[in-house]
């Protein structure tokens, strides 16, 4: 059969074999903290006995490798045994690796603190006479402005989450502040008044806290994960909680689904149906949220209890953002129907763990580069060096590396784009952005804090989005850097002046445009002309039709990608045939090959149209299930559209539900936005390459 004659078939919730995370990923562990250092993950908690498990994809774990044993004067007797190391928090804080953990010592429990120069230790306690703090479930958190905070759980009338400022990782300051407690009459009090296991992170200008409610005992089976939002790290209150569990076991959904009652979790209504052979999953707890291997995705790591195995086990599920509203696709299991793939890999990465020289995946422009001890070293004490990722590149990407500048001969080190050096300068204690060419001599340079640790490892990340670079140093947002010139599709590079070491390099094509001015939306690469009036709006872009429609395009041409946009109609919902429509070009190759996904303002159904090799596609409308529980209303937050382009199909999600699967390959493509008949806002837009994920073959 001629592939060009294949019809484009549509099927709701069905096409090809299911692709799901093989949960559980690590049996026999619980209450774990997870550190992402570059593209590697280090996990420690109950069941690891002072060791860490290590993974490069969050799925396959090796270990445990011994890194810590308690040697103090306060955790004595049984409490001093390594199997009493509970509820760990692992962090890279200003060049040092920090471990905080709970100990079953005394009536009110205690929290310890240890420090290491490497994620594999050895960790040593700087203070051995007294514990770091009382109570349980510690987390040290650095916000995007560099502020340091400490969260823990204290016992009063139930378990209550508290927060406190830190002067440094060794010192608590100011008075602790009570934040979250169990709310009567809600899902949080199915048995006991418990709020515990806090984990705080930031994204798109918001602070989020994941936490647990109800009793952790399997006797109840009610332990579930909730979420709260705040403008500030110590601003969390019960009023900022989502009124439903973000992630809970499927026991409750089975029971309620069988009775025909509405689900009470964030999972959409289709999830309340019979679980199609999934095991019973209960007691989801102790959340940690980390960046995925590609740097764009966010993943929730937590423990759960699976049917047939009373021991707790680690599981992972994808965290999505519907603009700023958080959503977890879970709990999933290896046989969960639908598309729930394991973490996507970056377009390129290198751990420098093979050979003595840089591999063929690098192009050395100058300098002396060697692999020493699993790290890339620029070894020239007074020369400059640039080593560029080989191959074709793109204009939109995330580039990240761990770096360290030694005191004996190290001067500068960082990441180089096609037109700018962005890095650290040890001699004058600054970070800087310097044009690579003389036609634009302007340089941005800013002092780092006096206490900045120049001897330790730091993570430097660049997010290139059109004509600007967002720069992050250890998850602290630095100033946005305008491009010195027109960004070309040249892969980025490592650079050093003097000696420097690099590790865990990650490069992924794509962008996250939620906090940037809007760049590079316009006419398509292969000829389609943008239309209408487009302007920046908060966290996004607004289209106003002219002559009936507005459309715009963006992105590098990619074989496989995932992208999402929050669509906020400005038209009143109506079912009239003349009603305004808005949506996305899920795939745009050229005017003869595209897939366009449209909805009216109420998003009750999708209307899919397009062309393949110039032949129009005639498709039936597809109904859209409503999300059962929302934190924000559709009028305020709109609807989330997510498109996954794989080698052999395109999958469409609305509000986290898979509603459409379109078989058939498409050439490398861009993406687009459109609105017809009324203005529409598109916010929280992100896209990344999915070409290097092992499951994306169906």
Do residues 475 and 537 share a domain?
no
Do residues 114 and 245 share a domain?
yes
What pLDDT is attached to residue 527?
Answer: 77
**Taking the CA of residue 186 as centre, how many other CA atoms within 13 Å lie in the half-sphere pointing to its CB?**
20
Do residues 518 and 585 share a domain?
yes
In order, the DSSP letters of 41-108 are EEEEEETTTTEEEEESSSSSEEEEEE------SSS-GGGGSGGGEEEEEEEEETTEEEEEEEE--STT
Do residues 303 and 377 share a domain?
no
User: Residue 216 is part of a domain; what is its CATH number?
Assistant: 2.115.10.20
Structural domain span for residue 203: 19-340
Do residues 615 and 669 share a domain?
yes
Neighbours of 648 (CB within 10 A): 14
Q: What is the pLDDT of residues 466-512, one digit of tens each?
A: 778 999 999 999 988 887 776 777 899 999 999 999 999 999 999 99
Do residues 265 and 142 share a domain?
yes
User: Residue 477 is part of a domain; what is its CATH number?
Assistant: 2.60.120.560
In order, the DSSP letters of 103-172 are E--STT-EEEEEEESSTT---B-S--SS-SEESEEEEEEE-TTS-EEEEEEEEESEEEEEEEEEEETTEE
Do residues 72 and 172 share a domain?
yes
Those residues with Cβ within 8 angstroms of residue 351's Cβ, 6 or more apart along the chain or in another chain: 38, 39, 40, 56, 374, 503, 504
Q: Which of 319, 340, 361 is the last residue of a domain?
A: 340
What pLDDT is attached to residue 274?
Answer: 42
Nearest to 490 by CA among 416, 385, 558: 416
Q: Can you say how many angstroms the Cα of residue 25 is from the centroid of all Cα atoms in its chain?
A: 18
Do residues 462 and 550 share a domain?
no
Neighbours of 694 (CB within 10 A): 12
User: CB burial class (10 A; 0-12, 13-18, 19+) of residue 52?
Assistant: buried
Residue 312 lies inside a defined structural domain of this protein: yes
Do residues 134 and 151 share a domain?
yes
Residue 376 lies inside a defined structural domain of this protein: yes
Residue 618 lies inside a defined structural domain of this protein: yes
Measured between alpha carbons, how far is 431 from 446 in angstroms, rounded to an integer? 6
Backbone phi and psi for residue 83, each to the nearest 5 degrees, phi listed first: -75, -5
Residue 2 lies inside a defined structural domain of this protein: no
Residue 13 lies inside a defined structural domain of this protein: no
Measured between alpha carbons, how far is 271 from 263 in angstroms, rounded to an integer? 8
Measured between alpha carbons, how far is 115 from 123 in angstroms, rounded to an integer? 5
Measured between alpha carbons, how far is 258 from 249 in angstroms, rounded to an integer? 15
Q: Which of 512, 532, 554 is the last residue of a domain?
A: 512
What pLDDT is attached to residue 693?
Answer: 58
Do residues 527 and 482 share a domain?
no
What pLDDT is attached to residue 441?
Answer: 55
Query: In the chain, how many domains are there?
Result: 3
Residue 624 lies inside a defined structural domain of this protein: yes
Query: With a cut of 70, which residues of the chain have pLDDT below it?
Result: 1-18, 252-277, 437-441, 486, 515-517, 693-698
The answer to whether 408 and 499 are in contact (CB under 8 A) is yes
What pLDDT is attached to residue 412?
Answer: 95
Do residues 506 and 519 share a domain?
no
Q: Which of 512, 543, 569 is the last residue of a domain?
A: 512
Residue 623 lies inside a defined structural domain of this protein: yes
Do residues 266 and 172 share a domain?
yes
């Amino acid at each position: 059969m001629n592939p060009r004659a294949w019809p484009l078939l549509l099927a709701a919730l069905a096409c090809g074999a299911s692709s799901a995370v093989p949960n559980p990923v690590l049996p026999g562990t619980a209450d774990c903290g997870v550190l992402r250092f570059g593209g590697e993950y280090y996990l420690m908690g109950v069941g690891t006995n002072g060791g860490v498990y290590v993974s490069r994809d969050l799925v396959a774990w090796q270990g445990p490798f011994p890194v810590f044993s308690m040697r103090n004067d306060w955790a004595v007797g049984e409490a001093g045994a390594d199997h009493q190391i509970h509820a760990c928090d692992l962090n890279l804080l200003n060049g040092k690796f920090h471990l905080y953990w709970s100990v079953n010592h005394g009536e009110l429990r205690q929290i310890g603190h240890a420090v290491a120069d490497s994620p594999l230790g050895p960790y040593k306690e700087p203070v051995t006479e007294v514990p770091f703090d009382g109570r349980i479930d510690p987390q040290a958190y650095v916000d995007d402005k560099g502020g340091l905070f400490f969260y823990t759980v204290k016992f009063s009338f139930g378990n209550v989450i508290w927060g406190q400022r830190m002067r440094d990782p060794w010192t608590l300051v100011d008075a602790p502040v009570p934040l979250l407690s169990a709310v009567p009459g809600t899902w949080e009090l199915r048995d006991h008044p418990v709020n515990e296991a806090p984990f705080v992170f930031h994204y798109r200008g918001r602070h989020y806290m994941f936490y647990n409610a109800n009793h952790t005992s399997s006797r109840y089976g009610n332990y579930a994960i909730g979420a709260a939002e705040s403008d500030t790290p110590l601003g969390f209150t019960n009023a900022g909680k989502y009124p439903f569990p973000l992630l809970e076991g499927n026991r409750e959904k089975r029971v309620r689904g069988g009775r025909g009652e509405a689900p009470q979790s964030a999972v959409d209504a289709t999830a309340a149906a019979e679980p199609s052979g999934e095991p019973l999953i209960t007691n989801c707890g102790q959340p940690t949220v980390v960046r995925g291997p590609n740097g764009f995705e966010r993943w929730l790591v937590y423990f759960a209890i699976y049917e047939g195995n009373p021991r707790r086990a680690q599981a992972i599920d994808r965290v999505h953002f519907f603009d700023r509203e958080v959503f977890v696709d879970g709990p999933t299991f290896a046989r969960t129907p639908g598309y729930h793939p394991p973490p996507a890999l970056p377009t390129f990465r290198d751990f420098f763990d093979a050979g003595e020289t840089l591999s063929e995946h690098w192009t050395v422009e100058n300098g002396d580069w060697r692999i020493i001890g699993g790290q890339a070293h620029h070894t020239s004490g007074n020369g400059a060096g640039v080593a560029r990722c080989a191959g074709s590149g793109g204009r939109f990407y995330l580039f990240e590396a761990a770096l360290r500048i030694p005191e004996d001969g190290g001067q500068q080190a960082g990441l180089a784009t096609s037109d700018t050096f962005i890095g650290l300068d040890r001699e004058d204690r600054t970070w800087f952005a310097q044009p690579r060419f003389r036609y634009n001599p302007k340089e941005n340079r800013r002092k780092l804090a006096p206490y900045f640790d120049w001897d330790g490892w730091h993570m430097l990340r660049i997010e290139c989005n059109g004509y600007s670079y967002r720069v992050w140093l250890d998850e602290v947002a630095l100033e946005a850097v305008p491009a010195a010139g027109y960004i070309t599709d040249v892969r980025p590079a490592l650079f050093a002046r003097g000696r420097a070491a690099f590790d865990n390099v990650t490069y992924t094509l794509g962008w996250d445009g939620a906090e940037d001015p809007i760049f590079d939306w316009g006419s398509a690469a292969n000829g389609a002309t943008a239309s209408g009036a487009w302007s920046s709006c908060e966290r996004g872009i607004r289209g106003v039709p002219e002559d009936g429609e507005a459309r715009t395009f963006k992105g590098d041409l990619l074989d496989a990608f995932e992208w999402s946009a929050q669509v906020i109609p400005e038209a009143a919902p109506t079912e009239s045939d003349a009603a305004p429509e808005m949506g996305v070009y899920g795939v745009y190759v050229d005017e003869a090959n595209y897939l366009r996904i449209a909805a009216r303002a109420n998003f009750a159904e999708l209307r899919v149209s397009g062309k393949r090799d110039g032949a129009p596609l005639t498709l039936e409308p597809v109904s859209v299930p409503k999300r059962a529980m929302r934190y924000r209303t559709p009028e305020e937050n709109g609807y989330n559209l997510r498109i996954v382009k794989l080698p052999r199909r395109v999958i469409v999600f609305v509000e986290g539900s898979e509603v459409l699967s379109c078989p058939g390959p498409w050439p490398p493509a861009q993406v687009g936005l459109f609105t017809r008949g009324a203005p529409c806002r598109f916010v929280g837009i992100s896209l990344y390459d999915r070409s290097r994920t092992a499951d994306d073959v169906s």
